[in-house]
Structure 1
Amino acid sequence: MPNPNSWTTKLTLLLASSLTVMSGATVSPSLPAMQQQFESAIADADLRTTLVKLVITLPALFIVIGSPIAGSIVDKFGRKPLLLITAILYGFAGSSGLFLESLPAILVGRAVLGLAVAGVMVSATTLIADYYSGPARAAFMGLQSGFMGLGGVVFLTLGGALAQQNWHYPFGIYLFAWPIALLVLAFIVEPERSDYRQPNMGSETDLTSQSTPVGVMVIVYGLTTLSQIAFYLIPVQLPFFLDSLVKALPSQSGMAIALCTLFSAIASVTYGKLKQRMEFVTFLPAIFGLMGIGYLLIGQSSTWLQVLAGLAIAGMGLGILMPNMSVWLSSAVPDTMRGRALGGLSTSMFLGQFLSPIVTQPLTKSMGLGGTYALVGGGLVIVALGFAIFKSQVRNLTRSRAT
């Protein structure tokens, strides 16, 4: 019988969740130095820039591929075995960039890392959904997102400092997965099917329908993909934007991205209390409004501090986004398909991250990075206004039952 109220179990789940946020952005401050490093090996500047940016986005593609498989595995064979195996694989694949000197070889390591992240994210989030229900689930998933954000602050700041010494060094941060694997082995107990809804873990106010909630899934998956296309303008493009704007050092880029994750963490931690007074649909205008305002501010910035202000505002919207989507989906789907549904959420999230540079690259070429941030920000504000105006229609479409 798992004990979800044990602090060791909670800490293990939170630490495992933090691995997902460091999968891409941790090495983001190394990108400009990597671009210079491979200048002689890859003469074509556009190709070199694209391949270097794939160091950040390629894991997302393989998370997209691996998440549905991971969802099926956790539903059929269990949560803990997949979490343990993929945490170990995460350390091997993630740290490979410490020693590799070939960009194609580094990209292979990043692909394997993506498969590992898929397993970690789906199994950890499914365990949380198994252990908790109702307000307890909303509170813990908010805490999960907050912990991921705080982990991002530490990893990104450390990554920026290490990248200033050598672009290889931030890859060593991925070895953090191995101590977490030991914690998983010691403190995570595989829940029985009958344990998924224990009455002493909080009342289930969002009753699970035994039919597939198509409306909820379309809204959640679609908005998650859209938001991540916008979000990944930060880890992929911000170091280059700051370099052109103020000649920022790698440590400054890492601190800037870390500030976004810090404010994201603060907002995530408050989600559980906000959810007691707001329904899922009501969060949508706030999420996209904050992101849009933040991006508009970044787009018109002329100083590093102005960029930081925009990142802080956008981060608050991002912090509410993922716990809202995770709890909404977990509350709507039948127990027997929870792993696959959350696997689909991971697919949507990382599909958006992978598509981000592909979608935004034409914009950055024609409008510059500042213009791209401003245009995306304006689009997000329009989306927020749309949800504010048509909230009742969206509620009817999803048949949301929230307290």
Structure 2
Amino acid sequence: MFKKISILAVSIITVMAGAAISPALGEIQAGFPDASETLVKLINTFHALWVIPFTFVSSWLTTKYPKKNILLSGLVLYVLGGFGGAFAPNIYFLLATRALLGISVGLLMPISTSIVSDFYDGEEKIDMMGKVSASNQIGGILSMSAAGLLAATNWRYAFSVYLIAIFIFIIVARFLPKLPVETKSNEKTAGEKTFNIKIWGLALAMFTVFVFMYSIPTNMALYLTEHNIADTEAFGFIIPLSTVGGFFGGILLRSFKHLLKDYLVPIQVLFMGIGFSLIAFTRMATTVSIGILIMGLGVGTLIPTIYNAVSNVSDQKNMMRSMAIVQTFLYLGQFMSPILLDNIARLFGEVSNALIYSISAYAALIGAILLFILVLARKKKNSTIH
């Protein structure tokens, strides 16, 4: 029981580390009036650039030191990088603390997912992957809601949400069993080429999901302000609705998988499309909130589905490397989200957050249709063979 709690506790602070203070972006921009909007948006995404190399550093460190020791070191850096932003005298110091935050998440993230396969397998592993995803979302719900309320008083207070890592440090130190150091194998198997192709395909899928999903924490506060949909205090409740949907999605993943079977992924992408459509085309607080919730439900089930696929196609000795590759693309998607979406929007006209959400809606709906066609074609082919 306590082992499970310690695994889930680490998951609370990883994926949404950058987005935790997204409700405070408007107040931070006011606090640094000379900073461009692009630099302010980087507060949410700059950490991802540093996560990328340190996921591989984390993978290498597991061949030298116990995973528990690496987790504890990463948690210390997490507190320093996260809470350190509260003391930033300028935007560049703030971005430097986000880099340190990224380094810490790079150390934590691959272990927080691969450790599930160390202790669980079969149906229990799928269930635990869903709970890990749900824990990711709980972290987002709590941190963004708290940051929104704190930012209404002073944007610097919003960074205190990162202090939760102190309590997680205590839980991990006390309850997580210490695993032996992983042995590095240089053996090559006949299926290694196929394995690599599958992992890269799953990594690309994760990248695509996060490019679109991360438009919520990166653009939503600005979108709500531009169209007078809600005020700053409401941001802390509207934006985290994506994580509320993600939480329930993670908890219900096992049931969804049994119910939808081969249609699970197309339905997940369809939920994203419906959510983005409500955000882009209604522009009312209630319907935008429902859209964010539905989009989060799709993403919240899709992310652990990808992780479970990674654990299924990778053998145990390559698990850390596989997770590092997929999580590299996850954070690359976070970092590239505003850059790619802004440039795609520029191809269709003047860049605006409304246009970005419209493009996201069309892309997800078209993707869902193509996935449905692919599943039906595969079923038809299998029935012909049999």
What is the TM-score with the length of structure 1 in the denominator? 0.87
Structure 2 residue aligned with 1:389: 373
Aligned 8 A contact 2:229 2:285 in 1: no
Report 1:138-287 matches (<5 A): 138-192=126-180, 211=192, 213-246=195-228, 248-276=230-258, 282-287=263-268
Distance 1:75 1:216, change over 3 A: farther
* Greater Cα shift, 16-25 or 111-120: 16-25
2:239 alignment partner, SS class: helix
Aligned 8 A contact 1:209 1:333 in 2: no
Distance 1:23 1:209, change over 3 A: farther
Q: Kindly provide the amino acid, as one letter, of the partner of residue 280 in structure 2.
A: G
Structure 2 residue aligned with 1:334: 315
Query: Offset at 1:228?
Result: 0.5
Query: Offset at 1:210?
Result: 6.4
Q: Name which of 277, 297, 313 aligns with 2:278.
A: 297
Q: Does 1:94 align with 2:82?
A: yes
Distance 1:277 1:219, change over 3 A: farther
Q: Kindly provide the amino acid, as one letter, of the partner of residue 371 in structure 2.
A: F
What do residues 285-317 of structure 1 show as CA deviations (whole Å, max 9, x unaligned)?
A: 112111011101110122111110111111110
Q: Distance in 2 between matches of 1:368 and 1:385?
A: 26
Query: Offset at 1:382?
Result: 0.9
Query: Offset at 1:334?
Result: 1.1
Aligned 8 A contact 2:277 2:291 in 1: yes
Query: Offset at 1:119?
Result: 1.2
Q: Kindly provide the amino acid, as one letter, of the partner of residue 386 in structure 1.
A: L
Structure 2 residue aligned with 1:323: 304
Q: Does 1:58 align with 2:40?
A: no
What do residues 77-107 of structure 1 show as CA deviations (whole Å, max 9, x unaligned)?
A: 3321111100111011100011122110110
2:174 alignment partner, SS class: helix
Structure 2 residue aligned with 1:352: 333
What is the TM-score with the length of structure 2 in the denominator? 0.90
2:12 alignment partner, SS class: helix
Structure 2 residue aligned with 1:132: 120
Q: How many residues align?
A: 369
Structure 1 residue aligned with 2:58: 70
Name stretches of at least 5 consecutive residues in structure 2 with no aligned partner. 183-188, 380-386
Distance 1:331 1:375, change over 3 A: same
What do residues 189-232 of structure 1 show as CA deviations (whole Å, max 9, x unaligned)?
A: 123489xxxxxxxxxxxxx9964523421321111101100011
What do residues 116-139 of structure 1 show as CA deviations (whole Å, max 9, x unaligned)?
A: 011111111111121111111000
Between the aligned residues of both structures, percent identity stands at 27
Aligned 8 A contact 1:75 1:337 in 2: no
Structure 1: 4+ residue segments shifted above 6 A = 392-395
Aligned 8 A contact 2:16 2:137 in 1: no
Query: Offset at 1:276?
Result: 4.3
Q: Distance in 1 between matches of 2:294 and 2:47?
A: 27
What do residues 17-71 of structure 1 show as CA deviations (whole Å, max 9, x unaligned)?
A: 01114411111111111112211x44xxxxx111111110001111112112212
Q: Distance in 2 between matches of 1:314 and 1:75?
A: 38
Distance 1:155 1:394, change over 3 A: farther
Q: Distance in 2 between matches of 1:322 and 1:133?
A: 18
Aligned 8 A contact 1:157 1:251 in 2: no
Distance 1:214 1:237, change over 3 A: same
Aligned 8 A contact 1:75 1:336 in 2: no
Q: Distance in 2 between matches of 1:294 and 1:341?
A: 30
Query: Offset at 1:178?
Result: 1.4
Query: Offset at 1:268?
Result: 0.9
Distance 1:86 1:372, change over 3 A: same
